[in-house]
């Protein structure tokens, strides 16, 4: 192989070195004239080339617009006073940019690592003449923690037994593959999250990727 020197051409046709090259070393940088092809690092159509902290390059899926909104339009769901989380169904999907939300499972799965914003609005009715405290939660699960836990919780103290609303709005830093859904825990009495018969589009779950 020829010794390195400024402006040396570095192209080889498999047998000999050629004088007119598309790959040139100017003594400091290597310049490529034409299209560069990198076959390592799991390439695929639409991927972008990124690197880790040590400079190791790999191909990854680009971040796309991620936003969804869904509503509960099925029947009321009774929340028992058993201090256990009850998952809420948001089966009517208004929009789902990036397809990160599953209306079947009522779950959002982070497509890429980043900061995400979520909004929840639930309409409740307390029965049997008892209005007791309850907790709404953005429930978090991951590959490392498939059981999950209440990642962000908010206690609501109703003032009467009439229908009332509980809301939540917050940001989360999620890793790719992390799952978020909405759950309710009833501290005492019997409270129902109202469905289409009592609330129409009042019970909603929405979110989007911030960056």
As beta bridge partners, residue 5 has none
What pLDDT shows up at residue 186?
A: 79
Q: Is 19 within a domain?
A: no
How far is CA 196 from each of CA 1, 96, 106, 134, 148, rounded to the nearest angstrom? 76, 21, 16, 21, 29
Q: Is 88 within a domain?
A: yes
What pLDDT shows up at residue 37?
A: 80
Q: Is 190 within a domain?
A: yes
What pLDDT shows up at residue 107?
A: 97
Cα-Cα end-to-end distance for the chain: 47
What pLDDT shows up at residue 19?
A: 54
Q: Is 53 within a domain?
A: no
pTM over 0.95, yes/no: no
What pLDDT shows up at residue 5?
A: 56
Q: Is 59 within a domain?
A: no
Q: For residues 103, 107, 112 and 116, what is the CA-based torsion angle, rounded to 10 degrees?
A: 110
Spatial distance between the Cα atoms of 194 and 112, rounded to a whole number of angstroms: 33
What pLDDT shows up at residue 166?
A: 81
Q: Which domain, by its residues, includes 101?
A: 67-209
Q: Which portions of the chain are predicted below pLDDT 50?
A: 199-200
Which of the 8 DSSP states describes residue 17? Answer: B
> What would the pLDDT profile of 147-180 be if each residue is shown by its tens digit?
999 888 888 776 665 667 788 999 999 999 999 9
Q: Is 128 within a domain?
A: yes
Q: Cβ of 141: how many Cβ atoms within 10 Å?
A: 18
Q: Is 139 within a domain?
A: yes
Q: Is 176 within a domain?
A: yes
Q: Given phi > 0 = left and psi -120 to 50 = alpha, else beta, which region is 189?
A: left
CB 164 within 8 A of CB 193: no
Q: How many domains does the chain have?
A: 1
């Amino acid at each position: 192989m020829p010794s390195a020197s400024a402006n040396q051409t570095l192209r080889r046709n498999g047998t000999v070195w050629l004088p007119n090259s598309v790959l040139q070393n100017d003594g400091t940088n290597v310049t490529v004239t034409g299209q560069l092809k990198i076959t390592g690092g799991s390439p695929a159509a639409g991927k972008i080339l990124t690197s880790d902290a040590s400079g190791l390059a790999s191909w990854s899926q680009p971040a796309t617009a991620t936003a969804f909104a869904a509503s509960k339009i099925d029947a009321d769901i009774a929340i028992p006073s058993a201090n256990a989380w009850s998952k809420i169904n948001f089966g009517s999907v208004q929009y789902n940019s990036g397809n990160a939300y599953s209306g079947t499972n009522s779950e959002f799965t982070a497509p890429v690592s980043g900061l995400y914003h979520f909004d929840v609005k639930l309409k409740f009715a307390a029965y049997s003449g008892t209005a007791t405290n309850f907790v709404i939660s953005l429930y978090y699960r991951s590959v490392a923690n498939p059981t999950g836990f209440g990642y962000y919780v908010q206690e609501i103290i109703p003032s009467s037994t009439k229908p009332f609303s509980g809301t939540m709005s917050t940001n989360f830093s999620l890793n790719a593959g992390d799952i978020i859904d909405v759950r309710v825990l009833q501290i005492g009495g019997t409270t129902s999250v109202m469905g289409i018969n009592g609330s129409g589009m009042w019970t909603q779950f929405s979110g989007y990727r911030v960056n």
